[in-house]
Structure 1
Amino acid sequence: MKKIVQIKNLKKVFCKGNICVANDINLFINEGEIFTILGKSGSGKTTFLRMIAGLEIPDSGEIIIDDKEVFSKNNNLQPKDRGVAVVFQNYALLPHLSIASNITFGSKASKADLEDVLEKTKLKGQENKFPHELSGGQQQRVALARAIITKPKILLLDEPLSNIDTELRAHLRVELKEMIKSFGITALFITHDKEDAFYLSDRIAIMNGGDILQVGTAKNIYHNPVDLYCANFLGKITEISQNNYVRPEHIFITPNGRFNAIIKSIVFYGSFYEIILKTEKTELLIHSFDDNLEIGQNVKYDFSGEILNF
């Protein structure tokens, strides 16, 4: 599989406060995949995207896009020459231009290119409207269409779902993935939201303090976190003994369990109950689907074998 983006020993330190936002980063992005940088605010993920786009200059390292060196010690190509397109958090649509003009703005796209992208982004029939006449989902599609019509080597998405309410966000997440995959385009997605990352990504990189801590599929990094930070960031965990942890779904209440506990609290979350079990030495957080449990009840519990060791 071809590597569309290769990052080698990339480093960036902001002088103000001596903050490292990229600490000797090495990674690659395969052709046709959606690759996500997942991290908290201030982790360095947006600066990383901006360095690939050419909007921020690294201190050292190399950025290679489609076998072309776009940044190195002796080279720094302008954003327009890198073969990248960016979809920003606020979409940056031009309110005085029609949808068709917004999509083709700054590009040399033909009428046929416009027709094709309107069809694939489900904007056919909306081309003569203005941004304020469209829904949030349609505005997102316009921003995506404007980026894709330039036929970039890689599409960069800077938290495009972060300012959208929960119900619409779930819908747009589905649309976004379908559209990216329908174009067969390579995409780098930046987000702080675990659910967005898990749904959209072929692979995920967890970033913190300018470091890439772990790279893998959603399933791999969730079940096999490399350290306690990654384990906590991806989901809830409970310490069962020194340096041994378990996720709530891997503790279960059963009459044949090896261990005794008392139910301390029960919180209903719609699709499951979040329960705290009080044992002789600790408290355990578990997820259950049992409607018949009560606070103060004596129960037996066991583990499914998914123990995390750090």
Structure 2
Amino acid sequence: MRFLEVSGITLQERGNAVLQNISFTQQQFQKIAIAGETGSGKSTLLQTIAGLVQPTAGEVWLEENRVKGPTEKLVPGTPGVAYLSQQFELPKFLRVEQVLRYANKLSVEELDRLYDICRIRHLAQRQTNQLSGGERQRIALARLLLTSPKMLLLDEPFSNLDLGHKQVLKSVIRDIAEELSITCTLISHDPLDTLSWADEILVMQAGKLIQRGTPAQIYQQPVSAYAAALFGDYNLLTGPLLKALTQPLGARPKKGRQLLVRPEDVKLAPDARNGVNGTVTGVKFFGSYSEINISLLGSSITVITGESGILVGNSVAVSLPTDRVWYI
């Protein structure tokens, strides 16, 4: 049985297509991330799944029950589904334990466990107006979990958080899925948030679902430069450079096709016998790796390498791996 089924969801607003025939399924406990640029329809899709937005066409089914939109019921929302928006609000000037006690439907033991999972025990006596953004978000999340949902929808949960609070929230979301057995779907702009967390990723563009796959598939085999850019830097090779770098691989790209290769997949060699010769034009040091810009055959290419001692003006040879050739 499919836990969640989204079938042909379309939404028209003022003559504009916000969502266009979106369909996908999600199994129970499967972690799905939704990626896309601002305005691609990610949040609207999440709100439609939560029953907070009425689609123009299509249906959402949760455990074989149709999710009703706000025009079909008096109080918008779906039992068993919790949605954490970017604009969450908490009652002001109340202690954290008061906020949670007033909404609590759990036993003392269950509530105690929730405090630990959300890392908020030390905040119980603090007032909500004395909390940081990351702390407030964890309180809002705990408040939603008091209803014992089966599914948790997270709309940009890591936005505007510093590194410390982001790492804590990542641990909280992981524990929510594993310890509370809640199926999670989240939206994030940061590829580091999605690639390491999700079982599958949905890529959206202009209201359309353009790609679905595992993090490795989405990262290594994007369907377009747009999809590639959502998950990191890339080189798009054409013309003489494309021909020169693919000849050793025995590849024959079709006319008009471009080769997409991630910077960390490009290999550096000491001389042109093992690749195409070029000149280093820029070096940026990032601690565990360096980002190298190389000019060759009238084009430029970016390489990420752990090698040290590479300087601007050095002559280097560039080659491609045999297992990371991807044309778009």
Same fold (TM over 0.5): yes
Contact 2:51 2:78 in 1 (8 A): no
Counterpart of 1:269, as a letter, is F
User: Is the counterpart of residue 181 in structure 1 residue 178 in structure 2?
Assistant: yes
- What is the match of residue 268 of structure 2? 253
The match for 1:68 among 39, 49, 65 is 65
CA drift of 1:194 comes to 1.6
CA drift of 1:103 comes to 2.5
Alignment identity in percent? Answer: 28
Q: Structure 2 CA distance, aligned partners of 1:232 and 1:20?
A: 23
- What is the match of residue 22 of structure 1? 19
- What is the match of residue 124 of structure 1? 121
The match for 1:138 among 126, 135, 153 is 135
State the Cα deviation string for residues 5-25 of structure 1 (Å, max 9, x = none): 11000000111xx33221000
Q: Structure 1 CA distance, aligned partners of 2:258 and 2:140?
A: 46
Counterpart of 2:311, as a letter, is E
State the Cα deviation string for residues 5-55 of structure 1 (Å, max 9, x = none): 11000000111xx33221000011211122111111111011111111222
What are the within-5 Å matches in structure 2 for residues 1-310 of structure 1?
Answer: 2-15=1-14, 18-71=15-68, 78-106=75-103, 108-124=105-121, 126-241=123-238, 242-255=257-270, 257-305=274-322, 306-310=324-328
- Three-state SS of the structure 2 residue aligned to 1:48 is helix
CA drift of 1:132 comes to 3.0
Contact 2:117 2:172 in 1 (8 A): no
Contact 1:11 1:60 in 2 (8 A): yes
Moved more, 134-143 or 218-227: 134-143
What are structure 2's unaligned runs of at least 5 residues? 239-256
Contact 1:54 1:78 in 2 (8 A): no
Q: Structure 2 CA distance, aligned partners of 1:113 and 1:167?
A: 27
Aligned residues: 306
Contact 1:70 1:76 in 2 (8 A): no
Contact 1:8 1:25 in 2 (8 A): yes
Q: Structure 1 CA distance, aligned partners of 2:317 and 2:185?
A: 46
Counterpart of 1:283, as a letter, is S
Task: Decide whether aligned partners of structure 1 residues 77 and 193 sit closer, same or farther in structure 2, where only a CA change above 3 A counts.
Answer: farther
Task: Decide whether aligned partners of structure 1 residues 70 and 12 sit closer, same or farther in structure 2, where only a CA change above 3 A counts.
Answer: same
Q: Which TM-score applies when normalising by structure 2?
A: 0.85
State the Cα deviation string for residues 109-142 of structure 1 (Å, max 9, x = none): 4444423322332333543432234444433322
C-alpha RMSD of matched pairs (Å): 2.3
- Three-state SS of the structure 2 residue aligned to 1:293 is coil
Moved more, 26-35 or 126-135: 126-135
Counterpart of 1:202, as a letter, is D
Contact 1:104 1:114 in 2 (8 A): no
Counterpart of 1:62, as a letter, is E
CA drift of 1:257 comes to 1.9
What are structure 1's unaligned runs of at least 5 residues? none
State the Cα deviation string for residues 169-189 of structure 1 (Å, max 9, x = none): 234323332333221211111
Q: Which TM-score applies when normalising by structure 1?
A: 0.89
Task: Decide whether aligned partners of structure 1 residues 263 and 80 sit closer, same or farther in structure 2, where only a CA change above 3 A counts.
Answer: closer
Counterpart of 1:254, as a letter, is A
| Richer in strand (by share) | 1
Task: Decide whether aligned partners of structure 1 residues 91 and 75 sit closer, same or farther in structure 2, where only a CA change above 3 A counts.
Answer: closer
Q: Structure 1 CA distance, aligned partners of 2:265 and 2:219?
A: 13
Counterpart of 1:300, as a letter, is A
State the Cα deviation string for residues 163-208 of structure 1 (Å, max 9, x = none): 2124432343233323332212111112222221123322211111
CA drift of 1:147 comes to 1.2
CA drift of 1:106 comes to 4.5
